[in-house]
Amino acid sequence: MDRYCVFGNPIAHSKSPEIHAAFAAQTGQHLQYERRLAPLDGFADAVRAFIAEGGKGANVTVPFKLEAVKLAQALTIRARAAGAVNTLVFSDDGIIGDNTDGAGLVADIVNNAGVPLAGKRVLLLGAGGAARGVVLPLLEHRPAQLVIANRTVARAEALVEQFAALGGEGVVSACGFDGIEGDYDVIINGTAASLSAELPPISPSVFAPGCLALDMMYAASPTVFLQFAGRHGAQLRDGLGMLVEQAAEAFKLWRDVQPATGEVLQTLRAKL
């Protein structure tokens, strides 16, 4: 039986085994998927050991997504753009690194929430790893405008410079939180503020009537950001759909089969 896993530290909380088991059952794929706790100073060795045991692929979560970039012998365009790897494919050609996070986010917005991105004004809060991973997939859907707002403006400007060459020239721009102008159709919180129950310092005026507000974090109850957005008329979405969709993208890479995500997402939601 083909073997897959997710590497992280810590890893006990990961929902990936449950998600991939559901995908396998649904698609008739025979595989085994497990959690693997990699030592903080031993990620590469842990991956090589798994390959030696017959592993076919792996997901990578905190804190190893940057180390996975160095370990991979080839990177997909979206992994290079993200500067991080969350999916490894072990092939005859070596270790291939990919990043399915952004594709997962976009699939959740477009397919699950039913909100097209083409021609829309999109505001991305944050310029760290989480935000960087979603810029290229967002741009591929041709928004009218993508504004990256960050506390440190220089970090947001660096992202703009990088992605202008990848189809974002004239579309993507940067500013500080206090420099956000106008309202937006889609607002995505890619900051770590929700981890500490804090709100990014944004004005209520950013929420266009009926806009979609998405927080990449998820919990049993809405984050502070989503509560704030809800009070100003936004439709709300957390990061659970993104989690399931990025897993589906990885599953497709490994098995060449596209799983359906709706039922899996409902099951996970009920267990939160």
Whole-angstrom Cα distance, residue 243 to residue 124?
18
Active-site choice (65, 70, 120, 271): 65
The two beta strands, 55-60 and 184-189, are: unpaired
Instruction: With H, G, I as helix, E, B as strand and everything else as coil, classify residue 85.
Output: coil
DSSP state at residue 256:
S
Strand order in the sheet with 235-237: 172-175, 145-149, 121-125, 184-189, 207-215, 235-237
For 140, the token pair is 């591929």
**Is residue 34 within 8 Å of residue 24, measured between CB atoms?**
no
Q: Which of 212, 222, 218, 211 is nearest to 244 (CA)?
A: 218
120 is catalytic: no
- Listed residue (87, 99, 112, 114) closest to 269, CA to CA: 112
Q: Please state, in angstroms and rounded to a whole number, the distance separating the CA atoms of residues 146 and 160.
A: 10
**Would you state the structure tokens that stand for residue 165, as one six-digit string?**
């060459």
3-class secondary structure, 26:
helix
Q: For residues 220 and 75, is the Cβ–Cβ distance under 8 A?
A: no
Residue positions annotated with a catalytic role: 65
